[in-house]
Amino acid sequence: MRLSRYFLPVLKETPAEAQIVSHRYMLRAGMIKQASAGIYSWLPLGFKVLKNIENIVHEEQQRAGHIPMLMPTLQSADLWRESGRYDGYGEEMLRMKDRHGRDMLYSPTAEEMFTDVFRSYVKSYKDLPLTLYQIQWKFRDEIRPRFGVMRGREFFMKDGYNFDLTKEDALHAYNRHLVSYLRTYERMGLQAIPMRADSGPIGGDYTHEFLVLADTGESEVFYDSKVTDISLGKRDIDFDDVAQCQAVMDEFTSLYARTDETHVEAEFNEVPEDRRRVARGIEVGQIFYFGTTYSDKMGATVVNDQGDHVPVHMGSHGIGVSRLLGAIIEASHDDKGIIWPEGVTPFHCGIINLRQGDDAADAACESLYSALTAAGLEPLYDDRNERAGGKFATMDLIGLPWRITVGPRGLKNGVVELTSRKTGESVEMPPEQAVAKVVEIYANL
């Protein structure tokens, strides 16, 4: 992409309605535009990051053996009446009637829809275990939407549902999701801590939220600081290995880590004083096991090996895909702008031409652009006829992890400048060496 041809409506001033860093930078970097309260248009730069996050979620879900599909955003109220949630869900549910007077709703979640699909087609225990998921738009009519995509009314979400014969099988699915979520967040450059949480309107006995520590988080969290020393890294996890998944669950949840809804002061006080932490956190995902709550009410049964019809054990598992953009920015920024982790960046590298129109500089930038593209990377080439300060400010604001700066003075010495957005460190090197370095960085992700 060449910036002279790209649609990047960067703002110099911070809009008055933006209260937190992620909202300010997403508006200023031309990533989103508010359509109405809590509802946003996703502009090209924001849409690229959204798709990158979505792709990581898909890859890790399918690595864990989960199967993607897609449900409608509009649902019949009849299914929700079967489960007993239609009247109890509250005013966050957007209700409407179609032209025939039938009660409809805009999906805030999809337990009922997935249960209906399951009961329609799965009849035998031999078809279990089964986990289905989707990444789809949802709507919850927040009374006070705020903080941009962090607390919007319309949001992009991964929601998955496991169907298992026994509680033991379903708890393995629960653990499997925890492992896959940890890997998902780490690939995005985030440390998301699983914390014992409240199940809310979805219900269930087992639930963990995944929270990213940030001063602007809506949840107060209490945790043992040792939990921040644990990472999954590049471990080779066999998702069918019950003991291995349970071991990861134990490792990441044995230390104290709870949201304010489930906090127990007496238990927290048992943590050594120097390791007790109270902070704010941003929820970016949640996993639930709720047994036969929905299968009992909606007749989701299978025939077991004894010939008996038994209700399946279920869980649901969500990741806030659009919300993650805000969480990443809250966790990774400075006073100049966003600092994207390599795993989700909209472009792998920025190229700045300090002397647009200079034959040598133009040719060097074109060569860098072609070489990076040929290596399978997406560079963003700032070929605008703008002053250097403006180009640097734009690159810092949109937060690409790496920048190659090309100017006549450096080219006379056969070098360009490679700069890390995260550290601010710059190194001069020949152009082909800069390309090789950037290619190596992304090959090692």
pLDDT in tens, 333-389: 999 999 999 999 999 999 999 999 999 999 999 999 999 999 999 999 999 999 999
pLDDT, residue 19, reads 85
349 - beta bridge partners? 379
Longest dimension (CA), the chain: 82
Could you tell me which of 178, 184, 179, 171 has the C-alpha nearest to residue 129?
A: 171
Residue 199 has pLDDT above 90, yes or no: no
pTM summary value: 0.95
Q: Per-residue pLDDT tens for 277-318? A: 999 999 999 999 999 999 999 999 999 999 999 999 999 999
Cis ω before 129 (30° cut-off from 0) = yes
Tell me the three state secondary structure of residue 59: helix
pLDDT, residue 144, reads 87
Percent of the chain having pLDDT more than 90?
90
pLDDT, residue 15, reads 84
Mean per-residue pLDDT over the chain, rounded = 95
146 pLDDT band (50/70/90 cuts)?
Answer: confident
193 burial (CB, 10 Å; 0-12 / 13-18 / 19+) is buried
pLDDT, residue 205, reads 60
Q: 203: left (phi > 0), else alpha (psi -120 to 50), else beta?
A: left
pLDDT, residue 336, reads 97
How large is the average pLDDT for residues 201-222? Answer: 83
198 pLDDT band (50/70/90 cuts)?
Answer: confident
pLDDT, residue 216, reads 82
Residue 412 has pLDDT above 80, yes or no: yes
**Per-position DSSP letters for 344-373, written without gaps between them:** T-SSSEEEEESSTT-HHHHHHHHHHHHHHH
How large is the average pLDDT for residues 212-223? Answer: 90
Per DSSP, helices labelled H in 140-209 are 167-187
pLDDT, residue 201, reads 54
Rg (the chain; Cα; Å): 24
Percent of the chain having pLDDT more than 70?
98
b/e per residue 106-144 (b: at least 16 CB within 10 A): bbbbbbbbbbbbbbeebeebeebbbbbbbbbebbbbbee
Residue 150 has pLDDT above 70, yes or no: yes
Residue 202 has pLDDT above 80, yes or no: no
pLDDT, residue 13, reads 87
How large is the average pLDDT for residues 131-144? Answer: 95
Residue 166 has pLDDT above 70, yes or no: yes
Residue 325 has pLDDT above 80, yes or no: yes
Torsion of CA 175, 227, 445, 67, to 10 degrees: 20
The strand order across the sheet containing 103-106 reads 74-76, 103-106, 94-97
pLDDT, residue 377, reads 98
Q: Per-residue pLDDT tens for 168-188? A: 999 999 999 999 999 999 999
Residue 108 has pLDDT above 60, yes or no: yes
How large is the average pLDDT for residues 118-128? Answer: 97
88 pLDDT band (50/70/90 cuts)?
Answer: confident
